[in-house]
A and B are shown apart, each in its own frame.
Chain A
Amino acid sequence: MQQSESTHSTETAGVQSAQEAPGGEIIRFDKVVKRYGSNVVLNELDFSVAPGERVTLIGPSGSGKTTILRLLMTLEDIDGGVIWVNGEPLSHMRRGDKLVKANEAHLRSVRKNIGMVFQQFNLFPNMSVRKNITEGPVHSLGVSKDEANQRAEELLDLVGLNEKIDAHPTQLSGGQQQRVAIARALAMRPQILLLDEVTSALDPELVAGVLDVLRNIAQTTDITMLCVTHEMSFARDVSHRVLMFDAGQVAEEGPPEQIFGDPQEERTKSFLKAVLEHG
């Protein structure tokens, strides 16, 4: 591939030369910068995730975990660097040999590979459970109504809520709503599933049901998962790798047995100690 080595930049923010796309990785953060005003949340963050890998992000509040997931879901603009998904730039598009900021059409197409489950569920309150789940497949993937309904039924079986298909979100408990939200995300058949503290808004007795559903998904699918959670035993069960974040940087990473059993960094140790004391 012919690459020009030109260094001139344009005024478009985040413009970079389109180097070769990374391979063997489904996600790669390449010197990603994210600021809110003068607050630099991510400062040239690098990390990558392999296809099918389940990664847990831990770290103190404000360390940038949510920001990472929101950047991946393209809910936030990136201030520098490039995020690669499947070797394609996420928040940028190729124009010739340049990468320029993605337009809305590009964003809509890349988002289809990625699903997200939110802390506050964010179900559509004006739609039935069924509609919540079929809306995306029908109107953004162009799946037929019949097929979308079938997916909805299968997924509600998976999350144990098939009898609630015609209920409205307001009629469900928080735990049930979150399970519907998981089904809604999966109905898009994303390659990557982002989970941002999906049990932290739930009453304690409802947490286990949601985590069981996620364990089941982890065991029975090869979906790539990025999961922010304070549920350490869940993280130990499902994740291949744990990333400990501090101040927008990876402070320590490794398999869960190592991070939870034998952390090396002082920051990891004190963070885990704090979580254990409060959990």
Chain B
Amino acid sequence: MLIDTDVHERVMYEELLPYLEQPWKRYIEDCHWIQEKHMPYTQPAVAGVDRADARIPDGRPAGTDLSFMQQQLLDANNHEKAVLTGALDPSPSSMHGWYEMATALATAYNNWQIDKWLDQDERLYGSIHIAAQEPWNAVKEIERIGSHPKMVQVLLPIDDKLWGDPYYHPIFEAAQRHNLAIGMHHNEPPVYYGQWPKYFIEWHTLIPTSHMNVVTNMIFNGVFDKFPDLKLIMIEGGFTYVPFLMNKMDQQYTDLRHEVPWVKRMPSDIVRENMLFTTQPLESMKKKELMQIIDQLGSDEIISFSTDYPHWDYDSPDAALPPNLDDDLKEKLYTENARNFYPKF
């Protein structure tokens, strides 16, 4: 069995139309609005950023068809649950303006997600999309949809904003109140100070640095002191950077506590008590190396397996982790850690 903490469903814009009111609908229908795009690279893998075999046989892009996903992913790998994390297109919280449109898109997306995915397969759980630029509207959306039994987290992109700022705290308050975790996933372009490096390979190598920015920012802005029950899952940044970051933050906090007197626990304790990290994209490692990292984390309960289906850097549940792991560790990584992490599981 597997609880997969990162599965990307994708919407075609025309599918969103029935869920949008005017005037928002006409901006897509008549004016061909699309999410801002910046990625300068020729697409890196055989089929762009998707697994080539995940394209729907009728030609639609990967991740757009539930029955194909059921067959290729959920049934094939014996999924107990999968958490949908969107395709960051649309990504309302990443828009650099027109937050009213972003808010409307978030609502439409959530309704579409419930109708077409969450209500159609009991294994699927969802992420609430919001337009976080205007926290008061984001909170309204969380209030509207937050008690849906299959919505398990609020999704925030990692790009050029640092969400730990108190300006955004009403979002965390609302999430905590509705037993929702916060899920963070990188968008474009989170590394190189918001610029693109020259090559895709540089960008993709450095994604964990953007996750480090956010973890550090959330802790030192006091989010987990203010909302001690809030859970944060860092999606698709891996976990091998975490021991370093825990040590670094602890040392900095020991030296520089006076600057952040609202932080009351050692940062590494906050990481262990409030956070979960998805495994993908796994670097290749031997069992011994994995066990060393777990030892440095001081916990085998803060990492959780994810496939990132249907993207090109998918991790196979059968082959990505080193062989011969102990059964109880496998159970934690494949199911238990995610089950214990999400307040709604």
Partners in one complex: no
